[in-house]
Amino acid sequence: MIIVSNTSPIINLANVDQLQLLNQLYGDITIPQAVFHEISVIGAAQPGAKEVETLSWFSTSTVQNITMVNSLRSELDAGEAEAIALAVEIKADLLLMDERRGYMKAQQLNVECHGILGMLIKAKYQGLITTVKPILDDLIAVAGFWVNDVLYHRILQTVGEDN
């Protein structure tokens, strides 16, 4: 399975000590150069920076289709644009992205896309985590991940934790 990730799933999961879920769920993760730069250079002191440099299941790839990247840059930031272009280029099975505009653009290009919330549901169903709520609460409180109340309760209801 070929998996490409944007910046936010890596940083947000690292912020709540759940980065290993990426590897447990998907195996190896490929990131484009712009995502590597956003995490390891711009965000060198933040969680996830050291991991993308040292963990063997992260690899960095250079996008060849610069025309597509430049076209996507009119609507998205560099990491999102390169992540989508790389996913298209290497025919990724899945793109990990949370940003709404990037997610929608990926879907327009027929790129399968999942965000952190979908990952948490999948992790619970696979028995990798016992409960979603504490991780979701940490994502909101610690990582600053935004989830509206309706979606928050829908996620917990989906996994049987909405008491």
In CATH, what number is assigned to the domain containing residue 84?
3.40.50.1010
Residue type, 113: C
Percentage of the chain exceeding pLDDT 70: 99
Distance of alpha carbon 15 from alpha carbon 9, whole angstroms: 10
Q: Residue 75 is part of which domain span?
A: 3-116
H/E stretch holding 29 reads strand 29-32
Enter the DSSP assignment of 127: T
Mean pLDDT value of segment 114-140: 95
Mean pLDDT value of segment 1-17: 95
Q: Are residues 57 and 35 in the same domain?
A: yes
Question: Does residue 76 surpass a pLDDT of 90?
Answer: yes
If one counts the domains in the chain, the total is 2
Instruction: Tell me the average pLDDT of the chain.
Output: 94
Q: pTM of the predicted model, to two decimals? A: 0.93
163 within domain boundaries = no
> Given pLDDT bands bounded at 50, 70 and 90, which one contains residue 163?
low
Q: Are residues 33 and 58 in the same domain?
A: yes
Contacts of 162 (CB under 8 A, 6+ apart): 153, 156
Question: Does residue 1 surpass a pLDDT of 70?
Answer: yes
Calculate helix-pair angle for 149-158, 133-141, nearest 10 degrees.
160
Q: Which DSSP string corresponds to 57-109?
A: TEEEE--S-HHHHHHHTTTS-HHHHHHHHHHHHTT-SEEE---HHHHHHHHHT
